[in-house]
Every structure is written in C-alpha cells, then in structure tokens.
C-alpha cells in the first residue's frame, strides 16, 4: 500500500498541471460517486492552477474562473457515461473558502450539501471551515519555493489511496 503522505517537488507550473491531470484521469478511470480534494497553501501557491488542470482533464470546456469572489463555481463534467445512480448529471465544484472568517459561515453557506453530495469537489482554503468539511479523499498542500512548489499529497480515504496507486511512477518520484 502506498504511503499515507506523498511528498513531491514540482519544478514549475507545468508539473503542477501534470500532477492534477494525472489524478483526474486516475479518478475518471474508476470514478466514485463523490470525490473531495482539499487544496491548501499560501496565496500564489498554485491551488487554482491545480484545480483548473484537474477540471480540464475531466473535460470541462470554456473559462474556468477562480471562485475567490463567488465562493463556488459549478461545472458539468465532459466524460461520456459518467453518470451516477440518482443523479441527472455529474458536476464538479470548485470552492474557495478564503473569504470565510468564521466557521459558522460554512454552515450558513449551504456548501455542506454540495461537498457531501455526489460529484467532485475541489476546495481551496479548507482550514477556513475549521474541521467542518467531510473527510477529504485527498489533501494537496502546495508550498512555493521560488519557481518550484513543494507538494504533499495526503490520502484520507481508500479512494485517496487508489489515486496514489494510479499515479505514474515518474510523478511519484517527484
């Protein structure tokens, strides 16, 4: 079984995108009805870059906006036959909690149902919900180091472990 945490050194933005794409494609090969990925790191660490590349790899077309001001952006996934029992379509949600200043805002926002329901949720600034989020399948921590990024992937569930196992060896060696 792969480690619960996987440290990686990402040389540039392209490497961040390649990691996000590999994880998205790994999930799409054996999708689960719900996937929660949390993205944390300082401003400019690459969280939105990761989210955009992940969504593009799942077939999202058009502009992928940062949800910094809107809190939530919803996208319909462009993967044929990726429909889960009880859903009319499969959505991906890009959520940014940066503007939260009180954990009560998590409850007031109505996002609990979105993140806990079917679909893919990519949540930036998860610490702003202070432990109120469901357990993340995969946590991505990005730390800028000049042009490079130190990335730590943390599997929180069996699904997260499956995503680790599906990563190409070249990415795992960081």
Cα separations (Å) of 33 from 2, 50, 84, 121? 23, 21, 6, 11
High-pLDDT (> 90) share of the chain, %: 44
Q: Give the CATH number of the domain where residue 16 resides.
A: 3.40.50.300
Write down the pLDDT at residue 77: 82
174 in any annotated domain: no
Enter the tokens of residue 125: 């600034």
Tens digit of each residue's pLDDT (9 = 90 or more) over 102-151: 777 777 777 878 887 888 999 999 988 877 888 999 999 999 988 899 99
136 in any annotated domain: yes
Phi (first) and psi of residue 55, to 5 degrees = -65, -40
**Structural domain tally of the chain?**
1
CA 102 – CA 80 distance, rounded (Å): 39
**Local structure of 36: helix, strand or coil:** strand
Q: How buried is residue 61: exposed, middle or buried, by Cβ count under 10 Å (0-12/13-18/19+)?
A: exposed
Write down the pLDDT at residue 140: 96
Give, for 60, the enclosing helix (H) or strand (E): none
CA 148 – CA 132 distance, rounded (Å): 31
In degrees, rounded to 5, the angle at the alpha carbon of residue 30 between the alpha carbons of residues 124 and 59 is: 60
Q: Can you give the residue range of the structural domain that contains 139?
A: 5-78+89-167
173 in any annotated domain: no
70 in any annotated domain: yes
Q: Cβ distance 9 to 150 under 8 Å?
A: yes
Tens digit of each residue's pLDDT (9 = 90 or more) over 21-80: 999 999 988 788 889 999 999 988 999 999 999 999 998 988 888 777 677 889 988 665
pTM above 0.75, yes or no: yes
84 in any annotated domain: no
102 in any annotated domain: yes
83 in any annotated domain: no
CA 28 – CA 159 distance, rounded (Å): 12
172 in any annotated domain: no
Phi (first) and psi of residue 61, to 5 degrees = -105, 165
């Amino acid at each position: 079984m792969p480690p619960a945490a996987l440290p990686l050194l990402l040389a540039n933005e392209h490497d961040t995108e390649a990691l996000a794409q590999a994880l998205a494609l790994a999930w799409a090969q054996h999708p689960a009805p719900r996937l929660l990925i949390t993205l944390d790191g300082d401003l400019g660490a690459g969280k939105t870059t990761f989210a955009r590349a992940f969504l593009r790899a799942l077939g999202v077309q058009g502009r992928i906006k940062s949800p910094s001001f809107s809190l939530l952006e919803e996208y319909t996934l462009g993967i044929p036959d990726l429909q889960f029992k009880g859903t009319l379509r499969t959505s991906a949600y890009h959520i940014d909690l940066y503007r939260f200043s009180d954990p009560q805002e998590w409850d007031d926002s109505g996002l609990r149902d979105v993140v806990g329901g079917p679909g893919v949720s990519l949540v930036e600034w998860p610490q702003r919900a202070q432990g109120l989020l469901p357990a993340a399948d995969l946590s991505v921590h990005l730390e800028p180091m000049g042009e490079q990024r130190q990335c730590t992937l943390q599997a929180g569930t069996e699904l997260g472990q499956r995503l680790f196992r599906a990563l190409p060896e070249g990415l795992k060696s960081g």
